[in-house]
A and B are shown apart, each in its own frame.
Chain A
């Protein structure tokens, strides 16, 4: 192509437009290569670096937000768990306290019953002792009085102690045998035989 071009003066003015001009191909090639170099060496690396950084920043921010949200959710879950634990604990303590209270009350009641029984028993014993003492003193007094009365009536001295006590014993025994109801009404229920004999001998 080229030799024709230079030879003919007006060739390029009238040439078919699809015939490439060599000078323009060379210029286009050089320009395109220069642009490619700039694009590959400068523009694209810089832009890609920036885009990567931007993406990292956005992703980082999103990850941070996600992490914060997850943390908040975890904290909420923890609080809920703690609250549930605390509730369970409180219920347990209440239940324990109730059981403890019931136990204490039962114990107290038991102890009070025992105490009452003890007091009753002590009182009974005291009453018995007092009765015994009363019976004893009454018997002595009654013996004395009866003897004195009898001696006055009889006019005979009954000072002999052996006789006196025999008479009294006999009298009392007769008295008890003839009308036990009367005796009981006047001087408490008693086992008349044994204590009377012991008392008689001890004196």
Chain B
């Protein structure tokens, strides 16, 4: 796991690079992603509070941008997936998830910060557990426990398949969904950042310590680094979008009998 020095002295990136404690060490150390999380949360809260202080019917530039983000979450994701009739109680959840994930993902390619907070699995787990709790509670509150369990098995199934499907669906609802939610976000950010590190560190190493050939090769390596950086912008947005989209889909199932 540790970045083992190769024969040439190059240390490839490893999970150790993501461990950046600021204060203390161990399970409750104050780490750099924690600090980042607090910082981004504070920034988002500030924008949400100050940006919505004087909303006008004809938006100014700032309000227009804020409304763009909110409108995307509210209309393109929430309303279209959950339905206009039921989306209202979940708007806050969707807005919080989308902004938090997006801003923190962008931190991964923000100069001087360059740390995607959600590459630390603790943070995606928090969001996934929240979503998991929300859709389960909503399900049971709306359809009752029996209704929820009945909903797991689609009607018209052969009798012998019912228990199998029931167990599979229960597993999906209780385990697979939250786990995949958390792992998807974490994996994307972790892998993306590792790739960036690899090309940045590799390019640097080849340029500084390599021979003539490696010095030349470092040029396309840096080019790939820039390409991946650009790609990470896309991934940042995409992961934020996918997270709220799946959240909406899971919540929409609560009201499936409506549609």
Structural contact, B92 and A24, CB atoms closer than 8 A: no
A43 within 8 A of B: yes
Please choose the segment from B17-25, B140-148, B214-222, B236-244 that sits at the chain A interface, where 4 or more of its residues have CB less than 8 A away.
Answer: B17-25
A192 within 8 A of B: no
Q: How many residues belonging to B are interface residues under a CB distance threshold of 8 Å?
A: 52
Structural contact, B70 and A13, CB atoms closer than 8 A: no
Give every chain A residue within 8 A of B41 (Cβ-Cβ).
Answer: 31-32, 34-35
Closest Cβ of chain A: how far from B69's Cβ, in Å?
10
Identity of the chain B residue whose Cβ is nearest the Cβ of A50 in the assembled complex: B55
Q: How far is the CA of A23 from the CA of B92 in the complex (A)?
A: 25
Identity of the chain A residue whose Cβ is nearest the Cβ of B16 in the assembled complex: A13
Give every chain A residue within 8 A of B183 (Cβ-Cβ).
Answer: 18
Main secondary structure on B side of the interface with A:
helix
Q: How far is the CA of A6 from the CA of B25 in the complex (A)?
A: 8
Chain B 39-60 interface 0/1 with A at a Cβ cutoff of 8 Å (1 = within): 0010011001100110111000
Chain A 4-63 residues near chain B, CB threshold 8 A: 5-6, 9, 11-29, 31-32, 34-36, 38-40, 42-44, 46-50, 53-54, 57
A2 within 8 A of B: yes
Q: Which of A9, A27, A39, A53 contacts B57 (CB 8 A)?
A: A53
Structural contact, A44 and B91, CB atoms closer than 8 A: yes
Structural contact, A32 and B57, CB atoms closer than 8 A: no
A185 within 8 A of B: no
Identity of the chain A residue whose Cβ is nearest the Cβ of B94 in the assembled complex: A39
- Given that A35-B45, A43-B52, A46-B55 are known contacts, is A17 also in contact with B190, CB under 8 Å in the complex? yes
A1 within 8 A of B: yes
Main secondary structure on A side of the interface with B:
helix
Closest Cβ of chain A: how far from B43's Cβ, in Å?
10
Give every chain B residue within 8 A of A38 (Cβ-Cβ).
Answer: 44-45, 48-49, 96
B120 within 8 A of A: yes
Structural contact, B26 and A6, CB atoms closer than 8 A: yes
Q: How far is the CA of A36 from the CA of B127 in the complex (A)?
A: 11
Structural contact, B67 and A24, CB atoms closer than 8 A: no
- Given that A23-B27, A39-B48, A40-B92 are known contacts, is A47 also in contact with B55, CB under 8 Å in the complex? yes
Please choose the segment from B28-36, B105-113, B157-165 that sits at the chain A interface, where 4 or more of its residues have CB less than 8 A away.
Answer: B28-36
Closest Cβ of chain A: how far from B65's Cβ, in Å?
13
Give every chain A residue within 8 A of B205 (Cβ-Cβ).
Answer: none
Structural contact, B44 and A29, CB atoms closer than 8 A: no
Structural contact, A28 and B49, CB atoms closer than 8 A: no
Structural contact, B57 and A54, CB atoms closer than 8 A: yes
B166 within 8 A of A: no
Give every chain B residue within 8 A of A54 (Cβ-Cβ).
Answer: 57
Q: How far is the CA of A22 from the CA of B27 in the complex (A)?
A: 6
Q: How far is the CA of A16 from the CA of B190 in the complex (A)?
A: 12
- Supply 18 A–B pairs (Cβ within 8 Å), ascending by A: A5-B27, A12-B25, A14-B1, A14-B16, A16-B1, A23-B28, A23-B122, A25-B123, A27-B34, A28-B127, A32-B96, A35-B99, A43-B52, A44-B91, A44-B95, A46-B52, A46-B53, A47-B74
Known: A21-B27, A21-B120, A24-B122; 14 extra A-B contacts, CB below 8 A, are A2-B27, A16-B1, A18-B186, A20-B120, A20-B121, A23-B28, A23-B29, A24-B120, A35-B44, A35-B96, A36-B93, A46-B55, A48-B91, A57-B57
